[in-house]
Amino acid sequence: MQNQKPIYDMGNATAGVFKGNSISDSIKQIYGESAGLFSNLIKSKLTDIKKEYTLLDVGSSKGELLADILELLPEYNFKITITDTNPDAVSQNCIDGEKIVADAELLPFDDKSFDLVIMRYVLQFNLFENQKNIISEISRVTKVFAIVQHGGADSFDPESWREIVNRIFIDDDLPQIKRSGMYWSTAEQIENHMDNQNIKYERILSKKIQGLSQPFIERYSLSNEQATKLRTMLGDKDFLTQTTWIIYSKE
Protein backbone atom coordinates (compact mmCIF):
# COMPACT_ATOMS: atom_id res chain seq x y z
CA MET A 1 0.00 0.00 0.00
CA GLN A 2 1.34 3.45 -0.88
CA ASN A 3 2.06 6.01 1.80
CA GLN A 4 -0.53 8.76 2.05
CA LYS A 5 0.67 11.86 0.25
CA PRO A 6 0.69 15.09 2.26
CA ILE A 7 -2.48 17.17 2.21
CA TYR A 8 -1.80 20.90 1.85
CA ASP A 9 -3.99 23.90 2.63
CA MET A 10 -5.62 24.87 -0.65
CA GLY A 11 -6.35 28.46 0.41
CA ASN A 12 -9.61 30.12 1.41
CA ALA A 13 -10.24 31.60 -2.04
CA THR A 14 -9.44 28.45 -4.01
CA ALA A 15 -13.01 27.68 -5.10
CA GLY A 16 -13.35 30.99 -6.91
CA VAL A 17 -9.89 30.80 -8.46
CA PHE A 18 -10.48 27.24 -9.69
CA LYS A 19 -13.60 28.50 -11.48
CA GLY A 20 -11.63 31.38 -13.01
CA ASN A 21 -13.57 34.03 -11.07
CA SER A 22 -11.08 36.89 -11.06
CA ILE A 23 -10.23 40.14 -12.78
CA SER A 24 -6.77 38.64 -13.41
CA ASP A 25 -6.14 37.62 -17.02
CA SER A 26 -3.78 34.87 -15.87
CA ILE A 27 -6.42 33.23 -13.68
CA LYS A 28 -9.01 33.55 -16.41
CA GLN A 29 -6.64 31.78 -18.82
CA ILE A 30 -5.26 29.18 -16.41
CA TYR A 31 -8.62 28.21 -14.90
CA GLY A 32 -11.51 30.09 -16.46
CA GLU A 33 -11.15 28.74 -20.00
CA SER A 34 -10.94 25.05 -19.06
CA ALA A 35 -14.65 24.29 -18.85
CA GLY A 36 -15.38 25.69 -22.30
CA LEU A 37 -12.49 23.79 -23.86
CA PHE A 38 -13.37 20.53 -22.12
CA SER A 39 -17.08 20.78 -22.97
CA ASN A 40 -16.34 21.41 -26.65
CA LEU A 41 -14.07 18.37 -26.76
CA ILE A 42 -16.77 16.27 -25.10
CA LYS A 43 -19.34 17.39 -27.64
CA SER A 44 -17.00 16.44 -30.47
CA LYS A 45 -16.32 12.94 -29.11
CA LEU A 46 -19.53 11.88 -27.35
CA THR A 47 -22.15 12.58 -29.97
CA ASP A 48 -25.05 10.38 -28.78
CA ILE A 49 -26.75 12.66 -26.27
CA LYS A 50 -29.43 10.05 -25.55
CA LYS A 51 -26.87 7.74 -23.97
CA GLU A 52 -25.80 7.76 -20.31
CA TYR A 53 -22.02 8.14 -20.15
CA THR A 54 -19.81 7.21 -17.22
CA LEU A 55 -17.52 10.07 -16.16
CA LEU A 56 -14.59 10.15 -13.73
CA ASP A 57 -13.16 13.44 -12.43
CA VAL A 58 -9.66 12.80 -11.02
CA GLY A 59 -8.39 15.38 -8.53
CA SER A 60 -11.83 16.96 -8.50
CA SER A 61 -11.18 19.14 -5.43
CA LYS A 62 -14.66 20.51 -4.59
CA GLY A 63 -16.00 19.97 -8.11
CA GLU A 64 -15.39 23.48 -9.42
CA LEU A 65 -14.36 22.48 -12.94
CA LEU A 66 -16.88 19.69 -13.38
CA ALA A 67 -19.75 21.86 -12.18
CA ASP A 68 -18.95 24.38 -14.92
CA ILE A 69 -18.64 21.64 -17.55
CA LEU A 70 -22.02 20.18 -16.61
CA GLU A 71 -23.61 23.61 -16.81
CA LEU A 72 -22.34 23.86 -20.39
CA LEU A 73 -23.63 20.37 -21.27
CA PRO A 74 -27.23 20.31 -19.94
CA GLU A 75 -28.33 17.90 -22.69
CA TYR A 76 -25.93 15.17 -21.53
CA ASN A 77 -26.60 12.46 -18.98
CA PHE A 78 -23.55 11.42 -16.95
CA LYS A 79 -23.10 8.83 -14.24
CA ILE A 80 -20.39 10.58 -12.26
CA THR A 81 -17.58 9.48 -9.97
CA ILE A 82 -15.13 11.93 -8.42
CA THR A 83 -11.83 11.24 -6.67
CA ASP A 84 -9.36 13.35 -4.73
CA THR A 85 -6.63 12.62 -2.18
CA ASN A 86 -8.05 15.25 0.19
CA PRO A 87 -10.89 13.80 2.32
CA ASP A 88 -12.21 17.27 3.18
CA ALA A 89 -12.43 18.24 -0.48
CA VAL A 90 -14.23 15.00 -1.29
CA SER A 91 -16.75 15.48 1.51
CA GLN A 92 -17.42 19.06 0.37
CA ASN A 93 -17.55 18.25 -3.34
CA CYS A 94 -20.60 19.87 -4.95
CA ILE A 95 -21.18 17.22 -7.60
CA ASP A 96 -23.94 14.61 -7.35
CA GLY A 97 -22.30 11.23 -7.78
CA GLU A 98 -20.03 8.68 -6.14
CA LYS A 99 -17.25 10.33 -4.13
CA ILE A 100 -14.06 8.43 -3.36
CA VAL A 101 -10.85 9.37 -1.57
CA ALA A 102 -8.18 7.93 -3.86
CA ASP A 103 -4.70 8.57 -5.18
CA ALA A 104 -4.55 9.17 -8.92
CA GLU A 105 -1.59 6.78 -9.05
CA LEU A 106 -3.69 3.86 -7.89
CA LEU A 107 -7.26 4.35 -9.01
CA PRO A 108 -9.61 1.76 -7.46
CA PHE A 109 -11.42 0.94 -10.70
CA ASP A 110 -11.35 -1.81 -13.28
CA ASP A 111 -9.82 -1.32 -16.72
CA LYS A 112 -11.96 0.73 -19.11
CA SER A 113 -14.45 1.66 -16.38
CA PHE A 114 -15.30 5.14 -17.66
CA ASP A 115 -16.35 6.51 -21.02
CA LEU A 116 -14.80 9.84 -20.11
CA VAL A 117 -12.09 10.81 -17.63
CA ILE A 118 -11.10 14.41 -16.88
CA MET A 119 -8.13 15.69 -14.90
CA ARG A 120 -6.79 19.22 -14.52
CA TYR A 121 -3.55 20.37 -12.87
CA VAL A 122 -2.81 17.20 -10.91
CA LEU A 123 0.45 16.12 -12.54
CA GLN A 124 2.74 18.95 -11.42
CA PHE A 125 1.97 18.37 -7.75
CA ASN A 126 3.61 14.94 -7.95
CA LEU A 127 7.14 13.76 -8.60
CA PHE A 128 7.86 12.75 -12.18
CA GLU A 129 7.80 8.99 -11.59
CA ASN A 130 4.41 9.48 -9.94
CA GLN A 131 3.21 11.55 -12.89
CA LYS A 132 4.04 8.69 -15.25
CA ASN A 133 2.03 6.33 -13.07
CA ILE A 134 -0.90 8.75 -13.06
CA ILE A 135 -0.95 9.03 -16.85
CA SER A 136 -0.83 5.25 -17.17
CA GLU A 137 -3.71 4.91 -14.70
CA ILE A 138 -5.79 7.48 -16.58
CA SER A 139 -5.32 5.54 -19.81
CA ARG A 140 -6.06 2.24 -18.06
CA VAL A 141 -9.45 3.23 -16.62
CA THR A 142 -10.53 5.11 -19.76
CA LYS A 143 -12.93 3.39 -22.13
CA VAL A 144 -13.33 6.10 -24.78
CA PHE A 145 -11.11 9.11 -24.02
CA ALA A 146 -9.70 11.32 -21.29
CA ILE A 147 -9.01 15.05 -21.20
CA VAL A 148 -5.89 15.98 -19.23
CA GLN A 149 -4.76 19.55 -18.66
CA HIS A 150 -1.29 20.22 -17.29
CA GLY A 151 0.53 23.27 -15.99
CA GLY A 152 4.18 22.64 -16.72
CA ALA A 153 7.66 24.02 -17.09
CA ASP A 154 9.07 26.13 -19.87
CA SER A 155 9.79 23.69 -22.70
CA PHE A 156 12.66 25.82 -24.05
CA ASP A 157 14.72 26.09 -20.85
CA PRO A 158 13.04 23.90 -18.22
CA GLU A 159 15.98 23.59 -15.83
CA SER A 160 16.49 27.31 -15.25
CA TRP A 161 12.72 27.79 -15.05
CA ARG A 162 12.41 25.06 -12.40
CA GLU A 163 15.38 26.40 -10.44
CA ILE A 164 13.60 29.72 -9.96
CA VAL A 165 10.05 28.43 -9.52
CA ASN A 166 10.98 25.78 -6.95
CA ARG A 167 12.38 28.48 -4.65
CA ILE A 168 8.96 29.99 -3.99
CA PHE A 169 7.73 26.74 -2.41
CA ILE A 170 10.48 26.63 0.22
CA ASP A 171 10.66 30.31 1.17
CA ASP A 172 10.02 31.03 4.86
CA ASP A 173 8.37 34.35 4.01
CA LEU A 174 5.71 32.48 1.96
CA PRO A 175 4.60 29.79 4.42
CA GLN A 176 1.11 29.54 2.91
CA ILE A 177 2.41 28.03 -0.32
CA LYS A 178 5.19 25.85 1.11
CA ARG A 179 5.04 22.30 -0.21
CA SER A 180 7.24 19.44 -1.37
CA GLY A 181 6.90 16.44 -3.67
CA MET A 182 6.38 18.56 -6.78
CA TYR A 183 7.92 18.36 -10.23
CA TRP A 184 7.12 20.73 -13.07
CA SER A 185 7.42 18.43 -16.06
CA THR A 186 7.36 19.67 -19.62
CA ALA A 187 4.73 18.61 -22.12
CA GLU A 188 7.45 16.78 -24.02
CA GLN A 189 8.40 14.69 -20.99
CA ILE A 190 4.80 13.54 -20.56
CA GLU A 191 4.49 12.79 -24.25
CA ASN A 192 7.74 10.79 -24.24
CA HIS A 193 6.30 8.62 -21.49
CA MET A 194 3.07 8.10 -23.41
CA ASP A 195 5.06 7.21 -26.53
CA ASN A 196 7.15 4.71 -24.58
CA GLN A 197 4.03 3.13 -23.11
CA ASN A 198 2.20 3.07 -26.45
CA ILE A 199 -0.51 5.33 -25.07
CA LYS A 200 -2.36 7.09 -27.86
CA TYR A 201 -2.91 10.81 -27.40
CA GLU A 202 -3.51 14.10 -29.17
CA ARG A 203 -2.03 17.39 -28.06
CA ILE A 204 -4.98 19.77 -28.33
CA LEU A 205 -3.42 23.00 -27.14
CA SER A 206 -0.17 24.23 -25.60
CA LYS A 207 0.44 27.84 -24.66
CA LYS A 208 2.53 30.03 -22.41
CA ILE A 209 0.48 31.90 -19.82
CA GLN A 210 1.97 34.82 -17.92
CA GLY A 211 1.23 35.24 -14.23
CA LEU A 212 2.01 31.97 -12.43
CA SER A 213 2.16 34.02 -9.24
CA GLN A 214 -1.41 35.35 -9.41
CA PRO A 215 -3.35 32.17 -8.52
CA PHE A 216 -1.22 31.75 -5.39
CA ILE A 217 -1.61 35.39 -4.44
CA GLU A 218 -5.41 35.18 -4.69
CA ARG A 219 -5.91 31.67 -3.32
CA TYR A 220 -3.96 32.41 -0.15
CA SER A 221 -4.80 36.11 0.15
CA LEU A 222 -1.11 36.97 0.32
CA SER A 223 -0.21 40.36 1.74
CA ASN A 224 1.05 43.09 -0.58
CA GLU A 225 4.55 42.49 0.76
CA GLN A 226 4.32 38.75 0.12
CA ALA A 227 2.85 39.25 -3.36
CA THR A 228 5.66 41.63 -4.27
CA LYS A 229 8.27 39.17 -3.02
CA LEU A 230 6.66 36.30 -4.93
CA ARG A 231 6.61 38.24 -8.20
CA THR A 232 10.17 39.48 -7.62
CA MET A 233 11.45 35.96 -6.94
CA LEU A 234 9.88 34.66 -10.14
CA GLY A 235 11.01 37.59 -12.26
CA ASP A 236 10.94 36.64 -15.93
CA LYS A 237 9.90 33.08 -14.99
CA ASP A 238 6.47 34.23 -13.81
CA PHE A 239 4.61 32.01 -16.27
CA LEU A 240 3.67 28.41 -16.94
CA THR A 241 3.07 26.30 -20.01
CA GLN A 242 -0.49 25.00 -20.18
CA THR A 243 -0.96 21.85 -22.24
CA THR A 244 -4.18 19.95 -22.91
CA TRP A 245 -4.28 16.40 -24.25
CA ILE A 246 -6.87 13.89 -25.28
CA ILE A 247 -5.66 10.50 -24.07
CA TYR A 248 -7.14 7.26 -25.30
CA SER A 249 -7.64 3.89 -23.69
CA LYS A 250 -4.52 1.79 -23.51
CA GLU A 251 -4.78 -1.29 -25.73
Question: If DSSP states are collapsed to H, E and C, what string results for 234-248?
Answer: HHHHCEEEEEEEEEE
Q: What predicted TM-score, i.e. pTM, was given to this entire model?
A: 0.96
Cβ atoms of residues 20 and 32 within 8 Å: yes
Strands 239-248 vs 201-210: parallel, antiparallel or unpaired: antiparallel
Going 101 to 106 to 19 to 228, the CA torsion angle's sign is: positive
* Domain 14-248, CATH: 3.40.50.150
Positions in the chain short of pLDDT 50: 1
Q: Check residue 1 and give its pLDDT.
A: 39
The full set of domain ranges for the chain reads: 14-248
